[in-house]
Structure 1
Amino acid sequence: MSKLEMVKQSPDEEKHTADAEGIRVEGDKVFSCGDDGKVKVFDRDLKLIKDFTAHDYAVYDVFAFGDTLFTGSIDTKIKVWDINTFELKKTIEGHEEAVRKFCTDGKLIYAGDEKGLVRGYTPAGDSTVSYNVVEEVWSMYAKEDLLYTVRDRGITITQVKGEDNKYFHVQSLEGRAPIHATNDLLVFPDTSGLSLEVRENNKASHFALKGQLKGPEMIITAVGGHGTMLVTGGWDAELRLWDLTTMKETGRCSIPGVPNGIAVCENGDVYAAGVDGFVCKLKAST
C-alpha cells in the first residue's frame, strides 16, 4: 500500500490570517492565496520566500502561467503579477461579481466568476473572449475547445468557438465542485459530495462512467492529482490518496484542517491549504 505522510506545516506566524482558498505549484515555487487578501510564495520545501497583499479583500484563486501570476478576488478584479519580482503588471476590470477560478487550455487563461461569466485572457492579461455560462463558477477546466464549468452542483460542458458567446452545449453531468481532469479522465464528487465519479474525458463516449471512488465519510472539499495519482480532502480533515488505475484508496493522512485547495506534483509532493489559513506539505510514496 502506498503511503501519504505529512512532511511540513507552515508555522503560525507564516500561515494566512484567515482561510486559505487555493494553492498552486509552478516550477520551484508554491503559491497560496486566502481571505486575508494575501498571496504567499514558498519554495518546494515550504520555506516562505515572500508574502504580499494582492487585493484589499479575499483572494479566491491564484494561477501561474509562464512568467505571470494571476490573482482573482471577491473585489471582482483580476491582477497580473511578475512571477519573479511580484511587481504588479496590470489590474483587470470587467467582471461584475467575485472572480472564483482560473484555468487554461494552454493558450488562454480563463477566469470564471460568481455571475457565470467566463472571460479568456492572453498571458499578458489582455481580454480576448467572454462566455456567459449563466451559473456561478465554482470549479473550471479547459481542454482544446471544451470548457467545463461547475457550480455547487452540476457540471456543464460546452464547446467554445473563440468568439464572444459563440458556443454550444455538449453535455450536463450530475455532480458538484471541485473537478479534476486529465486528458483521459474526468473526476468529481457526486451530488452527495461523499463519493467520486470517474468518467472518460471524451465527448465521443459521452463522458462514460468508468467507476466510483468510495470511502470519504464527510463531504469532499478539495481534489488534486497528477497522472493516475489522485488526492482528495474534506470535512474530516484527512487527505486520501487514490490510484485511478485500480480505483482504490492507497493511503491517507490527517492534516491541520479542512482543505480548500490541493496541488499534486509528478514526484509525489502534495500541498494543501485551507481553513484557518494552514498550508502544509505531504509526500506520497510507494
Structure 2
Amino acid sequence: MVLNEGVLFAAMEDGSVLAWKSNSQSSNPEELAALEGHDSAVISLVIGANRLFSGSTDQTIRVWDLQTLECIQTLRGHNDSVTCLIFLFSGSSDKSLKIWGATENGSLEVIHEMKQESGIHSLNGISDTTKDQHILLCSTEDKIVHIYDLPSFAEKGRTFSKGQVLAVETGPGGLFFTGDSTGQLSVWKLD
C-alpha cells in the first residue's frame, strides 16, 4: 500500500490497484477507483513525479497518472515478477535491477541494468550525510543486502541475514532496518 494526498492505493492479487479516499464526514474511506490493466497479481507500488508505478507478477510495470488515475504507459523489460520498486528503479525475480529514464518524448525506458546472483526482494534508498552521497539498498534471495553508492553503483558493502530479507526500511541518522523470513528484525548503521 502507498498513500498520496489522502488517497490510499492497495495492490491486489487480481491484477488491480484499488484507490480509497478519506471521507471527512465518516471514519470509513470510500472506494475511489479500481485501476485495472495487469494480467496477474500486483506486488509492488511506489509514487513519484505525480505518478503511481505498479509492479506485477505479469512482468510489467504500469505508470498511472495520479490526477486522472489512467494508465499512461506500460513498461516491459523484466522476464519475471517485478518484486520491488522505488522511483525509477525496479527489481525482479529475474535477478535484474533496472534503472528507468525519460526519453525526449517523455516515455520511460531502461537506461541501466545490473544483474544479481539471485532474485531481488526489496529496494530502498538512504543518504550518507557524511559524504553527501546517495546509497541504494538491494536485498536479494541469497539473504544479502547489497549496499551501492549512487550514481556509480560501486558496491560499498553487504549485510548478511539468517533468512531471506523481505523488507528494508530506512530511518534517521544513517540507520536502516531489515526484516527477514525467520522473523528477525535487524538495525544497521552506515559506517
User: Fold-level match, TM-score > 0.5?
Assistant: yes
8 Å contact from structure 1 (residues 40, 52) kept in 2: yes
- The corresponding residue for 2:178 is 188
Offset from partner CA, 1:222-266 (integer Å, 9 cap, x none): xxxxxxxxxxxxxxxxxxxxxxxxxxxxxxxxxxxxxxxxxxxxx
- The corresponding residue for 1:172 is 158
Write the distance in 1 (CA, Å) between the matches of 2:187 and 2:39: 38
8 Å contact from structure 1 (residues 116, 134) kept in 2: yes
Percent sequence identity is 19
1:191 Cα deviation from its structure 2 partner: 6.6
1:24 Cα deviation from its structure 2 partner: 0.7
Write the distance in 2 (CA, Å) between the matches of 1:122 and 1:27: 25
Structure 1 pair 182/89, CA: closer, same or farther in 2 (3 Å)?
same
TM-score, normalising length from structure 1? 0.55
TM-score, normalising length from structure 2? 0.80
1:110 Cα deviation from its structure 2 partner: 0.6
- The corresponding residue for 1:119 is 98
- The corresponding residue for 2:80 is 97
Q: Which runs of 5+ in 1 are unaligned?
A: 1-22, 206-286
Offset from partner CA, 1:36-70 (integer Å, 9 cap, x none): 10100012453211113230111111211132111
1:64 alignment partner AA = I
How many pairs are equivalent? 171
Does residue 4 of structure 2 align to residue 26 of structure 1?
yes
- The corresponding residue for 1:77 is 60
- The corresponding residue for 1:37 is 15
Map of 1:1-286 to 2, 5 A cutoff?
A: 23-44=1-22, 46-104=29-87, 109-122=88-101, 125-143=108-126, 144-152=133-141, 153-161=143-151, 167-175=153-161, 176-184=165-173, 185-189=175-179, 192-193=182-183, 195-200=184-189, 202=190, 205=191
8 Å contact from structure 1 (residues 54, 71) kept in 2: no
3-state SS of paired residue (2:14): coil
8 Å contact from structure 2 (residues 166, 181) kept in 1: no
Q: Which runs of 5+ in 2 are unaligned?
A: 23-27, 127-132
